[in-house]
Chains A and B, each alone.
Chain A
Amino acid sequence: MIDRELDSILKCVEKPARYIGGEVNIVRKDPDSVDVRMGFAFPDTYEIGMSYMGMQILYNILNKNERIYCERLFAPADDMETIMREKGRKLFTLETFTPADELDIIGFTLQYEMAFTNVLNMLDLSGLLVRREARAKASEGGVHMPVIIAGGPCAFNPEPLADFVDVFLIGDGEELLEKVCEAYADAKKAAGANVSDVRGIFLRAIAGLDGVYIPEFYEVEYYDAGEAGEQGTIKCVNRTAGFVPEKVTRAVVKDIDKTAFPTNNIVPFIDTVHDRSVVETFRGCTRGCRFCQAGMIYRPVRERRPETIKNLAMEQLANTGHEELSLLSLSTSDYSEFEDLATELMGLCKAQNVALSLPSLRLDSFSFKVLDEIQGYRKSGLTFAPEAGTQRLRDVINKNITEDDIYSAVRQAVELGWEHIKLYFMIGLPGETLEDLDGIAEIARKIMDINYEIRGRKGGRFRVTVSVSNFVPKAHTPFQWEAQDRPEDFVDKHNYLSSRLHIKGVTFNYHETVTSNLEAVFARGDRRTGRILEEAWKGGCRFDAWTEHFRPELWEKAFETCAAEFGFADGKALEAFYNYRKRSEDEVLPWDIVNSFIDRQYLLDEKHRAEEAKTTPDCRLGCNLCGVNEYTECFVNAKAGCRG
């Protein structure tokens, strides 16, 4: 039951069902019966967070453990936030409406950088101090403070949030998060009545676990003007405690087939971005695209067995009543027995009136057969991601797709009745020239021509959508040293493309420029960038990934304020330092604290090959020595793959 105040609040807000929990398959426990209470926090709205499978995976694992109760926290929308602040209502869990500051642990998942201000805002809405040090002090004084942890892909460069988060969990969370929760329960027991000791005992207990990064035990020194290194770059990182590792080795689940995967997914009442059953078929990717962080940090490829996948899918559908099933992985068709699996799932889904959705298919003849069958006469658009407009630039980024691949696939698609082709490109890639932009228009034009050729001069309702995103260099990739394009470069390129893409039947979309530049600051930011974040949040920034909430002028102000603090001429110079500067190969990078398993030399070699526009083959064809297999086995459960 909820109290009267909350009841009346819910009558005032849009989509109140975001805040009521109680969905099908929600886990109910008596909070007093568990040893540790954790709030899994997604720093965006309910609709976005509930579409994220990782939350369902971890919710399932933690709640199977009888010592742990994992509940959910989401960022309230602005109307809700306003009322909560007016009434002094704290952020609460959806399972038991418990104020978040009463929990033992709050764990954020960091899926994209533009959600970082929401992390701070959710801490504040929980009635907590946003700064880690301030909370630690309060906790030493005997005040109950939840430990703030954070994981997810953005934790691979934890530094921008290092002043706000107590513990980062880097890598696969399935085994690590449960261990960490249990360690907290043990610490509580060990501390007994001395509540102020819990935090210290807990941190010490988990410090040695793979994947655990505790920023308070590391101090960063930066080069001043006149010193050997470039001013503002990192001079060194010093450990302040002997029990923490020099580098944090990422956590890895060796065999995902043996790892628990949910079959009792929570089914939201309201429409969410994705409301469907999902089974992860494999983790990792062998393609080695040089811009792709996921392709590096989720290595190696580990597959789930076909039987397991089918069982999970059928159980999930039975327990949720979903109308759609989707497979989750980085490059769906790379699953080693993909054709058999897809064929079987198609049959199973058809028998149950369930739609099967297969994202990111490689468009070969088998895929067409599958797509034609599952989409029937209601064909959605067909998507290609050439990423770059010329073969040379595709070689630079190691995107293994040729124009012939695209055109022959388009030809098949048009013949089978598809009327909408979607193309994804990136601009601002290292080494890009005008020719590469022309190439984008060229591909769109040729696709239109193929359609005219097949469908006749009028071409029917056929259309092509060209979507362009702005390249953001990411940590742990061969492009981590590269400069990003400046906002004005992006704008020029967008304008240039707009003029080039004035083609009948072609729509051109592009991504907000300023957001991409900001994303880049935090994708590669050091610990000091946390100050920028804090200033922007204090100024009122949140939901920065939402165009309607994004406030560039407040960010600009935050950069100005911090420029002075860090000894930069102005906000622009500060932004330039983080974004528009090519880093030297021997520079200490903020994320060097994380051992992602990928060898630094491999990344450098890949960078150099990119500079020469040399491709590197898929590592299923032969090991490229990225270094992962020094730590863990590649291709577990995969039928095909390199063992060398």
Chain B
Amino acid sequence: MKYVIRFQKTGVICYTSHLDIMKVFKRSFKRAGIKLAYSQGFNPHPKMGFAQPLSLGYESLDEYIEFETAGDAFSADEILGRMRALMPEGLDLLSIKEATHNKTLAADTVAAEYTIEIPLGETEKNAAVTMEPRSLWQSYMGQDEIMTLKKQKKKKEPVLVNIRPKIREMVFFTSEECLRIDAVLDSGSDSNLSPELVITTVLERFGLDIPRSEIKVTRNKIHFKEHLT
């Protein structure tokens, strides 16, 4: 049987990597007595995977893990109940659904929604409050091209890329303390944009000197092409 569990990753556990969370699930299945189906071959591994990897340090309100069980010893609700009892703090399992699709969720992912919260220092506060969200949007999204350096997977030298076409939507909110950006970005194997590049270019555009470590990113939603979930 194939299932998809939707879950959240919030709090300090966001400092645990994608692969390590995978290990938590793998071990939890084992502890819960839920037998997973294994791949064939010399290195059999359990059939499970996330819709999209989540960068270290990001929280998420909308994560998906799909997996295949060997047999149907437990109902979907029983699986959810057993797994819930074993999850570490910060990993909250929201719901479970039986899956009928053949395609993986990863292959079906097309976009993701993020919230980027940039706290403002004294100097930025003054500058930001004078700027209306609308004009911030125009200043940033109105650019024909948004060029930035992107690290390549294989090559050592970063290359200059235009990220503008990969930004689907963007909304700015300002308050005394914080500049908040809600953005829908391409995500998945066809076209992908990391929020990190949005952060760099936003900071550059508005001349904000805020250390990356002060900025919080949350993934709110993953968009799928075929609405499998």
Seen from chain A, the residues whose Cβ lies within 8 Å of a Cβ on chain B are 1-2, 7-12, 16-17, 19-24, 26, 267, 269-271, 318-323
Contact = CB atoms under 8 A, between A and B. Distances in A.
B120 to A, nearest CB: 14
Contacts of A26: 88
B53 to A, nearest CB: 16
B31 interface: yes
Given A11-B212, A22-B90, A269-B20, A17 B15 contact: yes
B29 A23 contact: no
B29 A10 contact: no
A270 B213 CA distance: 21
Interface of B: 11-13, 15-17, 20-21, 23-24, 26-31, 56-57, 86, 88-90, 211-214, 216
A320 B214 CA distance: 35
Given A7-B12, A11-B57, 7 more contacts: A1-B12, A11-B213, A17-B15, A17-B16, A20-B13, A24-B86, A321-B31
User: What DSSP secondary structure best describes chain A's contact surface?
Assistant: loop
Given A1-B11, A12-B213, A16-B56, A269 B16 contact: yes
Contact of A22 (B26, B27, B89, B213): B89
A271 B17 CA distance: 11
B181 to A, nearest CB: 18
A20 B15 contact: yes
A8 B196 CA distance: 16
A320 B88 contact: no
Contact of B12 (A2, A270, A319): A2
5 contacts: A2-B12, A10-B15, A17-B17, A269-B24, A321-B30
A586 B24 CA distance: 57
Contacts of A323: 27
A240 B161 CA distance: 75
A16 B17 CA distance: 9
Contacts of B90: 22
A8 B12 CA distance: 11
| Nearest 8 A/B pairs, CB to CB | A321-B27, A16-B15, A11-B213, A321-B30, A20-B12, A8-B213, A321-B31, A269-B16
Nearest to B86: A24
Nearest to B38: A353
A237 B24 CA distance: 54
Contacts of A23: 88
A24 B90 CA distance: 11
Contacts of A318: 31
Interface centre among B17, B28, B29, B31 (most CB of A within 10 A): B31
Contacts of A322: 27
Nearest to A23: B88
Contacts of B27: 24, 267, 320-323
A323 B44 CA distance: 13
A1 B24 CA distance: 21
A632 B30 CA distance: 42
Given A22-B13, A318-B31, A270 B214 contact: no
Interface centre among A9, A19, A20 (most CB of B within 10 A): A20
B123 to A, nearest CB: 19
Given A8-B213, A24-B88, A270 B31 contact: no
A1 B90 CA distance: 10
A19 B57 CA distance: 13
Contacts of A320: 27, 31
Contacts of A2: 12
A267 B86 CA distance: 12
Contacts of B31: 318-321
B24 A22 contact: no
A17 B12 CA distance: 8
Interface centre among A8, A23, A321 (most CB of B within 10 A): A321
Contacts of B214: 8
Contacts of A21: 12
Contacts of B24: 24, 269
A23 B213 CA distance: 23
Given A318-B31, A320-B31, A321-B31, A9 B12 contact: no
Interface centre among A16, A21, A318 (most CB of B within 10 A): A16
A321 B89 contact: no
A23 B28 CA distance: 12
B29 A20 contact: no
A12 B15 CA distance: 11
A271 B211 CA distance: 29
Contacts of A267: 27
A2 to B, nearest CB: 6
A12 B56 CA distance: 11
Interface centre among A10, A269, A271, A323 (most CB of B within 10 A): A269
A1 B11 CA distance: 7
B195 to A, nearest CB: 14
B10 to A, nearest CB: 11
A7 B31 CA distance: 31
Contacts of B30: 321
A26 B90 CA distance: 14
A7 B88 CA distance: 19
Nearest to B20: A269
Interface centre among B20, B29, B30, B56 (most CB of A within 10 A): B30
A17 B56 CA distance: 10
A456 to B, nearest CB: 26
A267 B90 CA distance: 16
A22 B88 CA distance: 7
A161 to B, nearest CB: 33
Contacts of B57: 10-11, 16
Nearest to B21: A269
A21 B11 CA distance: 12
Contact of A17 (B11, B20, B212, B213): B20
Given A11-B57, A24-B86, A321 B13 contact: no
Contacts of A19: 15
Nearest to A8: B213
A318 B29 CA distance: 11
Nearest to A20: B12
Nearest to B211: A8
Nearest to A26: B88
B12 A22 contact: yes
B21 to A, nearest CB: 8
Given A16-B56, A22-B89, A24-B86, A321 B12 contact: no
Nearest to B89: A22
A115 to B, nearest CB: 25
A23 B12 CA distance: 11
B7 to A, nearest CB: 16
Nearest to B26: A321
Contacts of B28: 24, 321
Contacts of A24: 24, 27-28, 86, 88
Contacts of A9: 213
Nearest to B57: A11
A11 B86 CA distance: 27
B16 A20 contact: yes
B84 to A, nearest CB: 13
A97 to B, nearest CB: 9
Contacts of B15: 10, 16-17, 19-20
